[in-house]
Amino acid sequence: MDELDLLKKDWNKTSNSTKISAKEIYAMLHKKSSSIVKTLFYISIAELVFWTLLNVLPFFFSKTFNEQLDLVYTNKTVLVLINIFSYSVILLFVYLLFKSHKAISVTDNAKKLMESIIKTRKIIKYYVLYNLIVVFVSMVIGIYFGVNQTPEITEKLENADDNFMLIMYAIEVAFVAALVLCFWLFYKLLYGLLLKRLNRNYKELKKLEV
């Protein structure tokens, strides 16, 4: 049983100090919510660094990686624009989380704290959805160009029958679906537990408002 549960238990038992206990519970919820959003902010920073390194290091140290990029993106301007857009979205997400943390840290109003919690949950959900869409689209584009820009594969497909093509498409769909599912589980584990705690704080705040 954590400190918040102990305060709630004491609040239910003590009728003469309800007002004081309610303030203590609010203070605890405020502290916990601020801590959760701060953790989410740090995770977003770590993720930004991770994806940056994952994209930058192979570009400088892997000849094969650059050859594959040349096959998929014949126009370098398109690649640059895609990277700018992707990192802009991540930086926007980091900024919004930073604002949420600041908003939660400075507020002393239960209603505003609840609004900040709702806003933080929406930011995370939209960000996870965006990443899943990016993974899906990237995989589809990568597979399409990987198949069509590789002479050996193109030659085999020209002579393939319908059954082979059907099996190949089924494998590709299954592969993309499995990868998207893995990313969804990753984000569920990474952000899901913290969002669950944040949602619990929101529900407790709502009880205090009644």
Convert the pLDDT of each residue in 74-106 to its tens digit.
556 666 777 788 888 888 988 998 998 888 888
The answer to whether 195 and 121 are in contact (CB under 8 A) is yes
Distance CA 161, CA 28 (A): 66
- Tell me whether residue 34 is in a domain: yes
Instruction: For 73, list phi and psi in degrees, rounded to 5.
Output: -115, 90
Q: Is residue 13 part of a domain?
A: no
pLDDT at 181: 92
User: Rounded to two decimals, what is the model's pTM?
Assistant: 0.73
- Give per-residue pLDDT as tens, 18-60: 455 677 778 888 888 889 998 988 988 888 888 778 777 766 6
Is 24 contained in some domain?
yes
Q: Give the span between the Cα atoms of 102 and 122, in whole angstroms.
A: 16
More confident residue, 158 or 84: 84
> Which residue stretches of the chain are H helix?
3-13, 18-61, 63-72, 76-106, 110-148, 151-158, 162-209
C-alpha distances out from residue 114 to 1, 52, 95, 126, 198, Å = 24, 34, 20, 19, 10
Considering the domain boundaries, does residue 8 fall inside one? no
Asked whether the predicted pLDDT for residue 165 surpasses 70, the reply is yes
Domain that holds residue 152: 18-209
Number of domains forming the structure of the chain? 1
pLDDT at residue 78, rounded to an integer: 64
Q: Could you report the per-residue pLDDT of 174-189, keeping only the tens digit for each?
A: 888 898 899 899 888 8
When comparing pLDDT for 11 and 154, which is higher? 154
Q: What is the mean pLDDT of the chain?
A: 78
Task: Tell me the HSE value of 135 on the side-chain side, using a 13 A CA sphere.
Answer: 19
pLDDT band at 17 (very low <50, low <70, confident <90, very high): very low
CA gap 134, 66 in Å, rounded: 20
By percentage, how much of the chain surpasses pLDDT 70?
Answer: 72
How wide is the angle at C-alpha 23 spanned by C-alphas 19 and 28, nearest 5°? 145
Task: Look at residue 3 and tell me if it is in a domain.
Answer: no
Report the candidate in 12, 3, 1 with the shortest Cα–Cα distance to residue 207: 12
CA distance 111 to 29: 13
What is the pLDDT averaged over residues 126-155? 77
Residue 142 lies in a domain: yes
| Rounded Cα–Cα distance for residues 89 and 86 (Å) | 5
Return the percentage of the chain with pLDDT > 90, whole number. Answer: 2
User: Within a domain: residue 4?
Assistant: no
